[in-house]
Chains A and B, each alone.
Chain A
Amino acid sequence: DGGITQSPKYLFRKEGQNVTLSCEQNLNHDAMYWYRQDPGQGLRLIYYSQIVNDFQKGDIAEGYSVSREKKESFPLTVTSAQKNPTAFYLCASSISETGSNSPLHFGNGTRLTVT
């Protein structure tokens, strides 16, 4: 079955360390997204990619970086510059970003705790 795989499910890091969250999809979707979820808040967009080798900043990109070297993969790096990195991170994909509205497919998320 096609889907989105995020790993690991739980991640613990010390303050000051960079950490990379993995997101892989086998849905053949062009567009991929990274969201952050904090208690009591709606999902917020960190970065998105419409196509391989291209990505755009979302609403809260500061302290994060991404790459899109393969269609299937969209890893997110949380850098030491991110002031409040502890959160639940969700990866999603859709058939296209620029076409008509298409439903999002989500992974199961990675819970990052930085101490």
Chain B
Amino acid sequence: KNEVEQSPQNLTAQEGEFITINCSYSVGISALHWLQQHPGGGIVSLFMLSSGKKKHGRLIATINIQEKHSSLHITASHPRDSAVYICAASTGTASKLTFGTGTRLQVTL
């Protein structure tokens, strides 16, 4: 069974700071998902990647398949980025996703 670990569990940053959230997994995967959970509970899919790097606005996701590690970066952080960020590793289809416990990010003014 795949184990997915995220670090840190909690993160506080000041507006404008560069943020990195890490995700490691124990077995080979077909894809790695990054999700954002808003304070109200709804979840939005940010990225799905199987190699290299993807960028969307101020968000960048990278993955190193050999090291079984992925990172989510947020440049020029803003209070509206405050949320829980969850990584999930897939060993096949969506029903084979293993979710991390999330990183709670708080960005202050």
Chain A positions within 8 Å of B, measured between CB atoms, are 31, 33, 40-45, 48, 56, 58, 88, 90, 92, 94, 97-99, 101-109, 111
Contacts and interface: CB of A to CB of B under 8 A. Distances in A.
A105 B95 contact: no
B106 interface: no
A29 to B, nearest CB: 10
Contact of A103 (B4, B33, B86, B93): B33
B41 A88 contact: yes
Interface residues of B, number: 25
Which of A102, A103, A107: most chain B CB closer than 10 A? A103
A42 B90 contact: no
Nearest to A98: B93
Nearest to B45: A103
A22 to B, nearest CB: 15
Contacts of B101: 40-42
Contacts of A104: 33, 35, 45, 94, 97
Which of A48, A104, A108, A109: most chain B CB closer than 10 A? A104
B42 interface: yes
The 8 closest A-B pairs by CB, nearest first: A42-B99, A108-B42, A106-B43, A101-B31, A109-B41, A43-B99, A103-B45, A48-B95
Contacts of B44: 106
A36 B39 CA distance: 17
B51 interface: no
Which of B95, B101, B102: most chain A CB closer than 10 A? B95
20 contacts: A42-B88, A42-B100, A43-B88, A44-B99, A45-B95, A45-B97, A58-B95, A92-B43, A97-B93, A101-B30, A101-B50, A101-B93, A101-B94, A102-B48, A104-B45, A106-B44, A107-B42, A108-B40, A108-B41, A109-B41
A89 B74 CA distance: 28
A54 B101 CA distance: 30
